[in-house]
Structure 1
Amino acid sequence: MTDGKNDKLDWAIPVMRTGYAGRALVYLVVAGISLWSVLRGGNGQGTSSAFAQLESAPLGKVVLVLIFLGMLAYAVWRLIDAIWDLECYGSDGEGIIARLGMIVTGVIHLILGFGALLLVFTASSGGGESGIAKAAGMVMGLPGGRFILGAAGIVTIGAGLYYGKKAYERAYRKHLRGNEVTRNWDGLLRAGVASQGFVVGMIGVLIAYAAWTYNPSEAGGLGGVFGWLSGQPYGQILIGVLTLGLLCFALFCAVNAVYRIVPRASDPDIQTLAARFSS
């Protein structure tokens, strides 16, 4: 799994742990606010709406600043992970694609972090068009923008399928330290990864549909996924189940913050969760 520990890369581990902790906080906030809304007869909340509600809560601005710092750390982690190949994806075609995907993921989370920070210093707009819909409108205004947006939707669907495959095969186990905590929570971790896969895949479908209909307002993020689910039979129940799944993904991120293994920077003798299950 590793070519050996490189002590010069030890500094990457606290950056990684801070990043995953920030990511866990984001999903805890968004899924927690959405679940509370559903239990009170409302709808699930997108990231922007959840952050806006958090802004007026006690210590809300402090949490928003912590989210920004966590997203900044996660973006830095994804960048250095891609450059130094800390998780040993390799330099073949598949490895290069995976490492480019890390950079894209880092940029997305950095934008999310700056969105949280912006709410600390400015008044909330109280909702409106989602950030993804706005970005879709900008892309569609470019030469060939409709095709670029459609390609982005297909790639996002692929990312969602990757998460689903990761959950089905429990591939995340090879990146986690094997101990009683990770072993006992494995079922919840798997549910979290699967839920994230569903959300990412559905966001890809919405983006692709926006390109197909030439209507950027059809694109959407988590709020768009919740909106689509609300129109389905037993929609509120489905939204409630999905929010519970996203809380499991928050747990998954928190577990990664504590127990994730970085092959090129961690002790090579650490037993992985995959090895623990196979033993």
Structure 2
Amino acid sequence: MPDREKKKHWIALLPIYGCFSTGIIYVAVGVIAILSFLKIKHGGAGESSLLAFLNDFVLGKILIWVILLGTISYIAWRIYETIKDPYGYGTSPKGIATRTGIALSTVADMLIAYTAIMSLLGKSHIPENGQPEEQRRLVHLILQKSWGDWAIICTGAVVAVTAVVQLLYGITNGYKERINIGRLRAVEKQLIRALAWLGYTARGIILGIIGFFLLKAGILENAQYVVNTDKAFDFIGDHIGHLYFILVAAGTICYGLFMFALGAYYDPDKG
């Protein structure tokens, strides 16, 4: 029994560490977006660009290692969640759909981990100003294949569906079963609810824009339509309005702060 409890405790640390590292990323991305809007920094409000920027400094490289190990921890936990089902979603159609959504949510984390590894190895060619050159190059190579357009369309569809799931997750308070609610005071519950609602809404909007343009790139077979997080922010500012840009950037910071709160109060087992 002690060995089982020790193993369980070790596994429970994975999402906690992962939440904190994710929080670092999105607070930084939101801050950079606001700095870009104020013309203090030129672009770079994206996960990949952030890592490329950090890689220029010794302390930045250390932070990349922190983010990388945390991201890997979170991926491992999500896989554990999908297989072991600690929250009891079950094998009903709804349960299978929920667990599939959990598995698909690791895709973004895997891309962050991949970029972090490439940055540390000095093989990342992602510019710090947020231009999606590397992503467009990859999509262009895929589109050269006979099946390339459908691969990009399917990827765009998955990202778009993930965006909707993110929106619903925040609106329906789906995060509650992962938080030890009993430890929270009423004001803390309200604060976490606000951070989650704002954060997941902002994240859903950004993913929705990325998914839309991936679909467009696949349908029109043109990689130049591909956007990343930074260019999704630019799309909001240029075509929807500056106020909405600020709101989504602030929401992105809220998402990072929510991840810090989630890590602090994470309940790894509903039982």
When normalised by structure 1's length, the TM-score is 0.82
1:190 is aligned to 2:189: no
* Structure 1 counterpart of 2:219: 212
The structure-2 alpha-carbon separation of the partners of 1:55 and 1:32, relative to structure 1 and needing over 3 Å to count, comes to: farther
- Residue 15 of structure 1 is matched in structure 2 by 14
| Residue among 152, 171, 176 paired with 2:174 | 171
Q: Which amino acid aligns with 2:115?
A: G
Distance verdict in 2 for CA 1:139–1:97, change over 3 Å:
farther
Compare 26-35 and 203-212 and name the one that shifted more.
26-35
Q: 1:184 to 1:229 in 2, by over 3 A?
A: closer
1:28 and 2:35 aligned: no
1:98 equivalent in structure 2: 98
Matched, 1:67 2:67: yes
SS of 1:187's equivalent in the other structure is: helix
Give the root-mean-square deviation of aligned CA atoms.
Answer: 2.4
Kindly report which structure 2 residues correspond to 1:136-147, keeping only aligned pairs within 5 A, or say none.
136-147=139-150
Determine helix, strand or coil for the equivalent of 1:28.
helix
Evaluate the alpha carbon distance shift between residue 142 and residue 93 of structure 1 in structure 2; reply closer, same or farther with a 3 A threshold.
farther
Is the contact made by 1:136 and 1:216 (CA closer than 8 Å) also made in structure 2? Answer: yes
Q: Which residue of 1 aligns with 2:78?
A: 78
Given the alignment, which residue of 139, 161, 166 partners 1:158?
A: 161
Distance 2:240 2:262 in 1: 35
Cα displacement string for residues 37-91 of structure 1 (whole angstroms, at most 9, x for unaligned residues): 2223544622222222222346111111111111111111111111111222222
Instruction: State the partner residue of 2:263.
Output: 257
With over 3 angstroms needed to count, the CA separation of the structure-2 counterparts of 1:76 and 1:134, relative to structure 1, is: farther
Q: TM-score, normalised by structure 2?
A: 0.84
Shift of 1:212: 1.8
SS at match of 2:61: helix
CA distance in 1, matches of 2:148, 2:256: 34
Residue 222 (structure 1) shift: 0.5
**Maintained 8 Å contact 2:132/2:226:** no
Q: Secondary structure at the match of 2:36?
A: helix
Distance in structure 2 (CA, Å) of the matches to 1:101 and 1:143: 28
1:130 Cα deviation (Å)?
4.4
Contact 2:21 2:66 in 1 (8 A): yes
For structure 1, the residue ranges without an aligned partner over 5 or more in a row are 1-5, 269-279
What are the Cα deviations for residues 144-194 of structure 1, in whole angstroms up to 9, with x where unaligned? Answer: 321232122222212111111222222222322221233333212211111
Unpaired stretches in structure 2, ≥5 consecutive residues: none
Deviation at 1:248? 0.3
Return the letter of the residue paired with 1:30: V
Give 3-state SS (helix, strand or coil) of 1:231's partner: helix
TM-aligned CA deviation for residue 245 of structure 1 = 0.6
Aligned-residue identity in percent: 20
Alignment check: 8 A CA contact 1:88 1:263 kept: no
Between 1:98-107 and 1:214-223, the stretch displaced more is 98-107
Determine if contact 1:48/1:130 at 8 Å carries over to the other structure. no
Report how far residue 115 of structure 1 moved. Answer: 1.1
Query: 1:147/1:121 Cα in 2 relative to 1: closer, same or farther (>3 Å)?
Result: closer
